[in-house]
A = this chain, B = another copy of it.
Amino acid sequence: MNKIYIVGVGLIGGSMALDLRVSNPNITIVGIDSNREHLAKAKTKGIIDAESTIGEIKNADVIILAIPVDNALVTLPKILDNVEVTTLVLDVGSTKQKICNLVSKHRNRRNFLASHPIAGTEFSGPNAAINNLFKNKTNIVCEVEKTAFKLQERALKLFSILGMRIRYMDAKSHDKHLAYVSHLSHISSFMLGKTVINEEKNEKDIFDLAGSGFESTVRLAKSSPAMWTPIFSHNKTNVVEALDAYIDNLKHFRGLLASDSFPSVYQEMENTNTIKTILKGIE
């Protein structure tokens, strides 16, 4: 892997570039981005060596598509239309059904590998790119059997350089699970932030009174609306289902409080304390 194109030089694309360069000092990394400031910043930061456009891609070993999932649906077919036979194209989007369905009949489907590295921070853009972002994290690979065998191997090598462990899954299951373990957390956090901001008109009050618990639960409310709106759109059915389950649980808890059923309130919390064991598995 000597020539890599990164389409979208943000947090994910930029962080991948940083690690790939460490692994191979002779690598050439070319950036493609609609945001000229991001391209300039990525050059200054040593993330990319040069910039290009989709139409000019040439001799790529790997093209990494790391843009919001709605733009990926527009850009991926354009890339596949002209892809060279030896080039691997991989995406890193947080939804997988739409993109897999979109290219399922594409004549160059075998050049594409659908993946979703479960890694990131609440920040975005090339300034947020860091080394080792993916180390020991899970990468979900969907419909691996539809990718050419040699290109699968190349993808696995790349993921191994990043230090990721691979989990194979069909796209439908991916989107369902992620609605619960990721997308719902973001909505929960955004709406918690909204609720508190609406109540506490004086921001200074929040500064003074909130502790690390509040900070932890609303951290994701810093996330990028440009990234998250299309994720919610693509995964609407699953996200609405997860949100309904969450709202039902909150209403149930609210009912227990309102009716002074405190032994049940205790029980609800004790049952959920099992999350301790689960989180140990994540850490």
| Interface of A toward B, CB cutoff 8 Å | 118-122, 137-138, 140, 167, 177-178, 180-182, 184-200, 203-223, 225-226, 228-230, 232-233, 236, 239-240, 242-247, 249-251, 253-254, 257-258, 260, 262, 265-279, 281-283
| Contact of A199 with B180 at beta-carbon distance under 8 Å, contacts A265-B229, A269-B225, A276-B222 already known | yes
Each complex incorporates copies of this chain amounting to: 2
- Report the bound CA distance from A271 to B225 in whole Å: 10
Closest chain B CB from A175 CB (angstroms): 11
- Report the bound CA distance from A36 to B240 in whole Å: 48
Report whether A195 and B229 are in contact in the complex, using a CB–CB cutoff of 8 Å: no
| Contact of A247 with B249 at beta-carbon distance under 8 Å, contacts A220-B217, A278-B197 already known | no
| Contact of A257 with B270 at beta-carbon distance under 8 Å, contacts A181-B200, A185-B213, A187-B250 already known | no
- Report the bound CA distance from A212 to B266 in whole Å: 27
Closest chain B CB from A46 CB (angstroms): 25
Question: A197's contact among B186, B216, B267, B274, by CB below 8 Å, is which?
Answer: B274
| Contact of A207 with B177 at beta-carbon distance under 8 Å, contacts A184-B196, A246-B191, A271-B194 already known | no
Report whether A194 and B120 are in contact in the complex, using a CB–CB cutoff of 8 Å: no
- Report the bound CA distance from A60 to B276 in whole Å: 38
Question: A262's contact among B190, B216, B229, B251, by CB below 8 Å, is which?
Answer: B229
